Structure 1
Amino acid sequence: MSEPPGPGPVPGAVPETFVFACGRCGEVWEAVFQAVFFTDPVADPDLRSTQEYVDEAGRAVRSPLADAVCPRCGSRRVRITAPGP
């Protein structure tokens, strides 16, 4: 049985790739998030843009820079860098 297709690209989103490294167990992993920029005139009458992230499964998530958790050991001692060349 084949898996259903993923959520696909998010209209207007910009892909951002991050490399994560756990300071506890040494696990290193990479993840791509879709950064979505929008304005909400009701919540912000000054029309400043807001940024949200969508993970690879299509779920809205908090910023990966603020909420990283190691998938191996569950530690929050995670460093985040941009991917190498």
Structure 2
Amino acid sequence: MPFKVGRSRLRDLLREKRMTQVELARRTGRSKSQISDLVNQKNAEAMSLRVAKDISHALDCHIEDLFEWEWYELDTEADEED
């Protein structure tokens, strides 16, 4: 079963690490507004791999920790008909 990206966990991770958005922006070289957009899930799915890597490094976590991941079922009947 494949995964789809769920909600951003940035807010939770920042709280756990006791880090502000401003500090995360400084550590990653990103703007405060970009970090804010990602924390507030504006364009979260469009987070590039490079940005995700920078953020996960700054937060000392794995890239997959940045999001909740949701399983979804493939429509196997449609696949069998093809």
TM-score range, shorter chain: under 0.3
User: How does the TM-score come out when normalised to structure 1?
Assistant: 0.21
Which one scores higher on RCO, CA 8 angstroms, separation ≥ 6?
2
| TM-score, length basis structure 2 | 0.22
Give the structure with the higher percent helix.
2
